[in-house]
Amino acid sequence: MLAKKLLSYMQRYSTEYSSSGDLLEEYRELAEEKTRIFATLWYWVQVFYAFPSYIYSYVYFGGMMFKNYIKVALRNLQRHKGFSFINIVGLAIGIACCLLIFLYVADESSYDKFHENAGRIHRIISHSTIGGETRIFARAPSAVPVELESSIPEIEAQARLFQFGVLRFTHEDKDFEIQDFFAADPDFFNIFSFEFISGDPDTALQNPESFVITENTAIQIFGRADVLGNTLTVPFGNGSQELRVAGVVKNIPRNSHFQFNVILSINAFRQLANNQPGGRGNFLNDPIYFNPFAYLMLAENADADAVEVKIAAAVEDKWGTLYKQEGISRRYPLHSRSGGLHSPHPEHCLYW
């Protein structure tokens, strides 16, 4: 029975319980004189009485053994100082290196994972071959993602991110220089789930006069974060334009592969033309020059490899003749930030 097994287990650690045979004999006598149930209860009581003594013996002798181990270890350290130093330092360096590698891999793998649709977001990268030399760019021609969204059903949304550097303006007699100034398509905040403090991510970049800022930038300019609807007058083209705050987002997490302080609506630039060399017209519809970072959000369960095949066909059909005339060859594979350090496609890895 269970009580007997417990008592036998405790006997392995102390000779105090060598009387289990006597207990078993008395148990049988009680079972015959009274009842088996009474004898079983009596046996359990004896086991519980013995348990504190077992705990004491186990802890005491275990502590003694541990103390002896420590003494032996210290003696060996003193006796072999050179080897002990090498072993301890080597172990410490090994552990430190493992921890650093683990922290680095964990940090790299965490990038962009906070986006709700991280597994469906891909950036278009550009493989451009001229004169037999192939170069890889993190940016894409501005016309490419728009055309792909309209021609490939698996592409649910696209957003281009144009980088303009520094936004300089004067507000309430103070001069400001805001770093990380971008413009993006209206679907940008539908693809990337940055947390809004105020404003609607679905409409924040719809209006040409609207823009979105981070919490810190709002405090820097206005002295507070609740600035929805406030306006700024900024240089624009050959004049100036009044822009309205349509959204305030929490500060961008450090593990985002891009950082911004201000994002304007790309619709503000719809009327600007000839901003690219060669007089190619509206820079928002240029199929040659690498301007924005271009992002696609694929439909759920869409096969990225199959989409890449369709991208190649759509690009060839739309601009194949133009590229041949220009003496260039183009490919636009997809790069998924959510793939972490071990992308299944080596060509998807890109430094920029």
- The size of the chain, in residues, is 352
On whether the CB atoms of residues 341 and 105 are closer than 8 A, the answer is yes
Which of left, alpha, beta for 60 (phi over 0: left; psi -120 to 50: alpha)?
Answer: alpha
pLDDT of residue 337: 46
Question: What strand order describes the sheet that includes 126-130?
Answer: 133-137, 126-130, 328-331
- Which residues in the chain show pLDDT less than 50? 13-18, 273-281, 337-352
**Helix, strand, or coil here: 195?**
coil
pLDDT of residue 281: 44
Any idea which residue has 């006069």 for tokens?
209
* pTM of the complete model: 0.71
pLDDT of residue 14: 46
pLDDT of residue 211: 94
pLDDT of residue 2: 63
- The whole-angstrom separation of Cα 347 and Cα 295 is 17
pLDDT of residue 5: 61
DSSP state of 342: S
